[in-house]
Amino acid sequence: MDLKILIFLQSVRESLGTWADIFFELLSSHYLFALYGLAGAYAMLKGEKKKGYRIILSFIFAECLVWLVKCTFCIPRPWLRTDLLHPSETAVAGATGHSFPSGHSAAAGALLLGIRKSYGEDRKWLRVLCCVMTGLTMLSRLMLSVHTPQDVLAGLLIAVVVSRLVEVILDGAEKDTLNTEIVTGGLLAAAFAMTLYFRLKSYPGGIDEVSLKSAFRVCGMAAGCACGWYAEEKHHDGLGIRFSVITGIILFSATAAVMVVPAAYMYRKCMLYASLVFLFFALMPFLSSMYGKKSGVYKQ
């Protein structure tokens, strides 16, 4: 049934001409996702930590869960299951990893749910826009023949689950019922466990290095988020500054090492993204202060 739906949608896309490919590829563009993410960065820059964390953490957690599910079930892409599907070449190039679930749907859903919660309380138009853009992103993955309806619905479910998890974490941090060490330790443990799982697991047809590099990327994001969270939360008493310097030296030294050691090439994205995400969180209090806002205070 899923493939029949995709074949029908493909006929619609092909009847609309080349512009349809361009339009739906734009809806799946990483540049558009980066624009969503900037809303979180801007909130943190203004000192609105809860809003910023809600958006950024939702994206990172969604990415982690997506790749955990992808590498567990290893379901092939739809065009590999039938010769009747002819997906967009550009979309195929960006469709790394297995089919289930849709990473684009999960990421868009998580980011837009975060934006909707943070900024949509008094803006009905924004709530509607976030829902529409999430739906269009899901539709684009179907129209481009790179995902099935089950894939995109699973991606949306992940976005909803992750959004709720982030709210629990942020509420606990705000009320001091969840301390920073627990969050940091939990994220680091999860990142380490995922790295081992992705590397040691057996895959049908052998290891897909492109997929594995993307899986390691999310492990790095989780580790960088854990260390960055701790540094950002502790920067007031000076501990965060010392921790930032030491952790920064370790992360960037490790990144430089894996860049030059041929045997470690599989882990380059892991270390690179760990460093970048850590740097983002660790520097945010100082950037926020320079922006002229008080950092370290949650705002609604």
The tally of domains found in the chain comes to 2
Q: What is the 3-state secondary structure (H, E, C) of 224-264?
A: HHHHHHHHHHCHHHCHHHHHHHHHHHHHHHHHHHHHHCHHH
- The listed range with the strongest mean pLDDT (25-29, 153-157, 175-179, 194-198) is 153-157
Give 165's pLDDT tier (boundaries 50, 70, 90).
Answer: very high
Shared domain check, 120 and 35: yes
Shared domain check, 128 and 98: yes
Q: Dump pLDDT digits (tens) for 72-95.
A: 998 888 888 888 888 877 777 777
* Among candidate residues 124, 157, 178, the one where a domain is terminated: 178
Shared domain check, 277 and 188: yes
Burial class (CB in 10 A: 0-12, 13-18, 19+), 206: exposed
Shared domain check, 198 and 67: no
Predicted pLDDT at 210: 76
CB 46 within 8 A of CB 291: yes
Predicted pLDDT at 139: 94
**Calpha distance 190→192 (Å, rounded):** 5
* Among candidate residues 127, 156, 178, the one where a domain is terminated: 178
Q: Read off the pTM.
A: 0.87
Shared domain check, 188 and 300: yes
Shared domain check, 183 and 156: no
Shared domain check, 163 and 22: yes
* Between 119 and 266, the higher pLDDT residue: 119
* Among candidate residues 147, 178, 209, the one where a domain is terminated: 178
CB 296 within 8 A of CB 236: yes
Shared domain check, 115 and 59: yes
Predicted pLDDT at 34: 86
Shared domain check, 67 and 31: yes
Shared domain check, 81 and 19: yes
**Calpha distance 106→59 (Å, rounded):** 8
Range of 171's domain? 1-178
Work out the mean pLDDT of the chain and round it to a whole number: 83
Shared domain check, 66 and 135: yes
Give 201's pLDDT tier (boundaries 50, 70, 90).
Answer: confident
Predicted pLDDT at 180: 76
Q: Dump pLDDT digits (tens) for 208-267.
A: 777 888 888 999 999 888 888 887 777 655 555 666 666 767 766 666 666 555 556 667
Predicted pLDDT at 296: 46
Shared domain check, 149 and 56: yes
